[in-house]
Amino acid sequence: MAAGSDGTAWRENRRATTSAHHAALERRRAAESGRARALLADFVREALELGPAPVPLRAQGTDGRHRYRTSLTGWYLKRNESLAVGTDGEFYVLSVPPSVSAWLRGAILTPSDPPLVLGAGGRDGESIELSVALDRIRSRRPD
């Protein structure tokens, strides 16, 4: 019977440890998103005043073949136009499932939590720090 209770104690300890790690990860993610939101808000204020001008944002179909208009304007954060910041200061992933509705009426996007590194965990050369992406946009200011 003692062996069974040891197994139960081990499982409970493992569950508690996993929960603690998950909570710590969520706190880090929330803190990162908070810092990223501040960078985006500062950028939007600055860009609306000094440029470059925002552009209409288009979403890409997950099939890779279609692009859909949206009601949003803003700035693309990556050269492949898969991520953007809207004039509302929100971060958008510009990927939607293909649909006739999106083709006729435009794609509807919801904001996402912004990361400090865009494309982290992707293939080599596809990730970029948010601050670097924002600096690239700033470099396109009119003189």
Task: Give tens-digit pLDDT for 61-108.
Answer: 998 889 999 999 999 999 999 999 999 999 999 999 988 878 888 899
For residue 123, what pLDDT is reported? 62
Rounded average pLDDT over 1-12: 71
φ, ψ (nearest 5 deg) of residue 31: -65, -40
List strands edge to edge, sheet with 55-61.
Answer: 91-93, 83-86, 67-76, 55-61, 95-96
In angstroms, what CA-CA distances link 43 with 4, 70, 109, 130?
Answer: 58, 21, 21, 11
> Kind of pairing, strands 95-96 and 55-61?
parallel
- Asked if residue 132 has pLDDT above 90, the reply is yes
As a whole-number percent, the residues of the chain with pLDDT over 70 amount to 93
Contact 66, 101 (CB under 8 A): no
Q: Is the pLDDT of residue 41 over 50?
A: yes
pTM value is: 0.81
